[in-house]
Amino acid sequence: MTRPTGTGRRVLVTGGASGLGAALVRALAARGDRVIATDLAEHAPDTLPEGVGYLRLDVTRDEDWASALDHVEHTWGGLDVLVNNAGVAAGGRIDVLTVEDWRWITEINLFGVVRGCRTFTPLFKRQGSGHIVNTASAAGLVHPPVMSSYNAVKAAVVALSETLTHELGPYGITTSVVCPTFFRTNLASSLSGRDPEVEAFAARLINRSKLTADDIAAEVLKGVDRGRPVVLTDRAGRLALRTKRLMRPLYDRTMRRMAEGVRRRVERDQKNTTEKQS
Kindly list the distances between the CA atom of residue 105 and the CA atoms of 88, 98, 267, in Å, as whole numbers in the listed order.
7, 11, 26
Distance CA(77)–CA(74), nearest Å, equals 6
Q: How far apart are the first and last CA of the chain?
A: 61
DSSP 170-230: GGTEEEEEEE----BSGGGGG--SSSHHHHHHHHHHHHH-S-BHHHHHHHHHHHHHTT-SE
Catalytic option among 54, 150, 171, 251: 150
In terms of DSSP bridges, do strands 34-39 and 53-56 run parallel, antiparallel, or are they unpaired? parallel
Kindly list the distances between the CA atom of residue 170 and the CA atoms of 84, 108, 127, 165, in Å, as whole numbers in the listed order.
21, 29, 13, 9
CB contact at 8 A, 244 and 51: no
Catalytic (active site) residue 150: yes
What does DSSP assign to residue 132?
E
**Catalytic positions, please?**
150
